[in-house]
Structure 1
Amino acid sequence: MASKAFPFFSFVILLFLLSQYSVLADNTNDKNQSPFEFINHLQGCHKGDNVKGINELKKYLEKFGYLNYSSYTNQKHANDDDFEELLESAIKTYQLNYHLKKTGVLDPKTISKMIMPRCGMEDIVNGKTRMRSGHKRQNASGHFHTVAHYNFLPENPNWLANKYHLTYAFLAGTPVDAMNPVAKAFTTWAGNTHFTFSVTQGIGHADLRIGFPHGYHGDGSPFDGHGGVLAHAFAPDNWRSHYDTNETWYVGAVEGAIDLESVALHEIGHLFGLGQSSVEGAIMFPTIPPGVTNGNLHGDDIQGIRALYNV
């Protein structure tokens, strides 16, 4: 009897350990490849090429702020597969932001970054903000040097000076197991800012509203299915933060899955008014690979929030 009981006991322990990490494991309605996977087939493309899929790449770069054909009188390349000068320039800017060699060519390292799961917020908003804009400080000799790469959302939106306690509520349909990692992310921000937070059941009166929808969900920024855009959040005057329920969410570093707490830390930064950062170790960096976790704020994140609120 003892020899049969041990395997059963081990199985129970394994289930318990897995339950400590799983939030929405394998709860995906779309098991197809990542919506960014098409970029892999464009490796080596450069100016002058005409390859099927380049138009999809243009839409990808438009989504994240690198291209805006509507701002040009001549829009003839907006809907074709021509790799033309504007696209090359957009890719160079992308490479600059992500610390890649500025070639304008879809080399393997550039593609590796582009296909990574990421936040849905633009890297460059309305052409006014760049991830690598940096913030400069003048030293005693009169020279300026870059001290940070944090960014603010356009027009520097923030909460009023006397609004230091924020309430948040979870929309209907939010998985119960998802609430704790999001709450922990709020606690981490509270420990590094002048803000405090509390959860409330009253959706209509909450300062921040958090939900787990999928696809088209009424905010003009539809999710694209498993493995692409993970989540998005809006500026303080909008108060919404959404996570794609079609993702494979976990708590902790689990191979092939996304750590919910790490993504929540990033999205809360947007709710404060922070934009994307070009510092790869920062929470406000736009991408996160599956299987990693980052539960701590980077110095760049903390400098950004303190500079935005003058604290």
Structure 2
Amino acid sequence: MYEASNYAFIGTKWPSSEYQLTYKILSQTLVSGVENMRSIVYEALNKWAQYSPFTFQEVTEDSESNLVFGFFQGDHRDGNPFDGPRGILAHSFQPTNGQSHYDATENWSDDPGQDQMDLDSVVHHEIGHLLGLNHSDNPNAVMYSGIGAGQRKRDLQNDDIQGIEALYGSN
């Protein structure tokens, strides 16, 4: 069965000289439900790496890095303030900015109940933005613009894979 492509690009991409990206996770904000942030980011990056030429290496928090993951509340001085629970969950910037911010006031979990947001799913989605993908019109795609409480989207769909491969070629 033919499946239409619904992916979109942000407009910028990482130069081929920077396909070996470093990342770090900021520990400045302790957020309940995110005890496994390090492993969540690691696993999500590896899923994207399966379908792209990227490799990822974690560095210490005091090191320079290409990608930075952190939790923030309200106005955190990037021009995109968070609006509290059940609003904007996260935002990430296009290549080569590399910032990925998550709303510290959300009810996060890596095993979400009906009133919790799945951190794994949101990290997968935000990494797509960090790599240059915009929102997809396919509601099954990781890169679809919305996700409900308790919902999980942890596996890249054909639309996500076609998008990243169209942008960078296959692994």
Q: TM-score, normalised by structure 1?
A: 0.51
- Structure showing the higher helix proportion among its residues: 1
SS in 2 for 1:229: coil
| Cα offsets for 1:138-176 (capped at 9, x unmatched) | xxxxxxx983010001xx211111222111011232447
Amino acid at match of 1:277: S
Instruction: Determine if contact 1:182/1:260 at 8 Å carries over to the other structure.
Output: no
Identity %: 41
Instruction: Determine if contact 1:213/1:245 at 8 Å carries over to the other structure.
Output: yes
Amino acid at match of 1:229: I
| Residue of structure 2 equivalent to 1:237 | 96
Q: TM-score, normalised by structure 2?
A: 0.90
| Cα offsets for 1:181-222 (capped at 9, x unmatched) | 222211211222221111111445101111101000010000
| Residue of structure 2 equivalent to 1:302 | 161
Q: 169, 174, 177: which is aligned to 2:24?
A: 169
Aligned residues: 165
Q: Are 1:188 and 2:37 an aligned pair?
A: no
After superposition, residues 108-127 of structure 1 pair within 5 angstroms as none
Deviation (angstroms), 1:179: 2.3
Instruction: Determine if contact 2:52/2:168 at 8 Å carries over to the other structure.
Output: no
| Cα offsets for 1:8-28 (capped at 9, x unmatched) | xxxxxxxxxxxxxxxxxxxxx
Instruction: Determine if contact 2:110/2:120 at 8 Å carries over to the other structure.
Output: yes
| Residue of structure 2 equivalent to 1:147 | 4
Tell me which structure has the larger Cα radius of gyration. 1
Amino acid at match of 2:5: A
Please give the alpha-carbon distance, in whole angstroms, between the structure 2 residues aligned to 1:222 and 1:165.
30
| Residue of structure 2 equivalent to 1:159 | 14
Structure 1, unmatched stretches of 5+, are 1-144
Structure 2, unmatched stretches of 5+, are none
CA RMSD of aligned residues (A): 1.7
Question: Structure 1 segments of 4 or more deviating over 6 A?
Answer: none
- Structure showing the higher strand proportion among its residues: 2
Please give the alpha-carbon distance, in whole angstroms, between the structure 1 residues aligned to 2:111 and 2:140.
17
| Residue of structure 1 equivalent to 2:80 | 221
| Residue of structure 2 equivalent to 1:210 | 69
After superposition, residues 227-266 of structure 1 pair within 5 angstroms as 227-266=86-125
After superposition, residues 263-282 of structure 1 pair within 5 angstroms as 263-282=122-141
Which range moved further: 167-176 or 285-294? Answer: 167-176
SS in 2 for 1:307: helix
Deviation (angstroms), 1:288: 0.4
SS in 1 for 2:120: helix
SS in 2 for 1:148: coil
SS in 2 for 1:304: helix
Amino acid at match of 2:115: G
